Amino acid sequence: MEKITVIYLDDQREVLATIGKDLAFFENLLNLEECETVDEAEQLMENLYSKGHYVALVISDHIMPGKNGVEFLSEINRDDRFEKTKKVLLTGLATHEDTITAINNANIQRYIEKPWKSEELVQLTRELITSYILENGIDYEPFMEVLDQNTLYHYLHQQS
Amino acid sequence: MKNIKLWVGILLPLIILAIPVESFGIEGLTVIEKRVIALFVFAAMFWILEPIPVYATSVLIIVLELIMVSDKGLILFRDADAANLGELISYKSIFSTFASPIILLFMGGFFLAMAATKYRLDQNLARIMLKPFGQNPKMVMMGLMIITALFSMFMSNTATTAMMLSILAPVLTYFPANDRGKIGFVLAIPVAANIGGIGTPIGTPPNAIALKYLTGEHYVSFGKWMSFGLPYAIVMLIIGWILLNVMYKTETPTIKLDIKGSFIKSTKANIVYATFVLTILLWLTDFIHGMNSYIVAMIPVGVFTATKIINKDDLKKISWDVLWLVSGGIALGLAMEQSGLALHLIESIPFENMSAILIIGLAATLTMVMANFMSNTATANLLMPIIAALGTTVESLLNIGGLTTVVIATAIAASMGMALPISTPPNALAHGTGLINTGQMARIGVIIAIIGLSLSFVVVYILKLTDF
Q: What is the pLDDT of residue B391?
A: 87
Residues B153, B284: Cα–Cα separation, whole Å? 14
- Per-residue pLDDT averaged across A94-111, rounded? 92
Helices (H), A79-158: 96-104, 118-135, 149-158
- Whichever domain contains A28, its CATH number is 3.40.50.2300
With an 8 Å Cβ cutoff, are B162 and A150 in contact? no
Indicate whether B7 pLDDT > 70.
yes
Q: What is the pLDDT of residue B240?
A: 98
**Which letter does DSSP use for residue A160 in this model?**
-
With an 8 Å Cβ cutoff, are A139 and B432 in contact? no
pLDDT band at B176 (very low <50, low <70, confident <90, very high): confident
Q: What residues of chain B lie within 8 A of the CB of A156, using their CB?
A: 158-159, 161-162, 425, 429
Selected for mutation to probe chain A from B166, B310, B424 (highest A CB count within 10 Å) is: B166
A140 falls within a domain: no
Q: What is the pLDDT of residue B81?
A: 61
CA angle B165, B370, B107 (to 5 degrees): 55
A19 falls within a domain: yes
Q: What is the pLDDT of residue A93?
A: 80
Give the full edge-to-edge strand order of the sheet including A54-60: A31-35, A4-9, A54-60, A86-91, A110-113
What are B371-410's pLDDT values in tens digits? 999 999 999 999 999 999 988 888 777 777 788 989 999 9
Which of A139, A144, A153 lies at the smallest CB-CB distance from B162? A153
Domains in chain A: how many in total?
Answer: 1
A160 falls within a domain: no
A87 backbone dihedrals φ, ψ, rounded to 5°:
-125, 135
Chain A closest-CA separation from residue B320 CA (Å): 10
CB atoms within 10 A of CB B253: 8
ipTM score for this prediction: 0.83
Question: Half-sphere exposure (CA, 13 Å, Cβ side) for B378?
Answer: 29
Q: What is the pLDDT of residue B357?
A: 85
Q: 3-state class of A54 per DSSP? A: strand
- Pairing, β A86-91 against β A31-35: unpaired
Chain A closest-CA separation from residue B417 CA (Å): 18
**What's the mean pLDDT when you consider all of chain A?**
94
A101 falls within a domain: yes
Chain A closest-CA separation from residue B446 CA (Å): 23
Nearest to B148 by CA among A134, A157, A147, A152: A157
Selected for mutation to probe chain B from A29, A146, A157 (highest B CB count within 10 Å) is: A157
What are B427-466's pLDDT values in tens digits? 999 999 999 999 999 999 999 999 999 999 999 888 888 8
With an 8 Å Cβ cutoff, are B428 and A147 in contact? no
pLDDT band at B153 (very low <50, low <70, confident <90, very high): very high
Q: What is the pLDDT of residue B80?
A: 65
A9 falls within a domain: yes
Which of B110, B117, B425 lies at the smallest CB-CB distance from A158? B117
Q: What residues make up the domain containing A61?
A: 4-116
What are B232-276's pLDDT values in tens digits? 999 999 999 999 999 999 888 889 888 888 999 999 999 999 999
Indicate whether B468 pLDDT > 70.
no
**What's the mean pLDDT when you consider all of chain B?**
93
Residues B73, A5: Cα–Cα separation, whole Å? 44
A46 falls within a domain: yes
The H or E element containing residue A34 is strand A31-35
Report in angstroms the alpha-carbon separations of A16 from A28, A39, A62, A111.
19, 16, 13, 17
Q: 3-state class of A90 per DSSP? A: strand
Q: What is the pLDDT of residue B82?
A: 66
Exposed, middle or buried: residue B395 (CB in 10 Å: 0-12, 13-18, 19+)?
exposed
Do residues B434 and B391 make contact, with C-beta atoms less than 8 angstroms apart?
no
Contact status of B158 with chain A (Cβ, < 8 Å): yes
With an 8 Å Cβ cutoff, are A160 and B158 in contact? no
What are B338-379's pLDDT values in tens digits? 999 998 888 887 777 788 888 899 999 999 999 999 999 999
With an 8 Å Cβ cutoff, are B162 and A144 in contact? no
Indicate whether B13 pLDDT > 70.
yes
Which of B155, B319, B428 lies at the smallest CB-CB distance from A141? B428
A26 falls within a domain: yes
- Per-residue pLDDT averaged across B286-300, rounded? 96
Q: What residues of chain A lie within 8 A of the CB of B113, using their CB?
A: 160
As beta bridge partners, residue A122 has none
Chain A closest-CA separation from residue B342 CA (Å): 34
Indicate whether B28 pLDDT > 90.
no
Cis link prior to A115 (omega < 30° from 0)?
A: yes
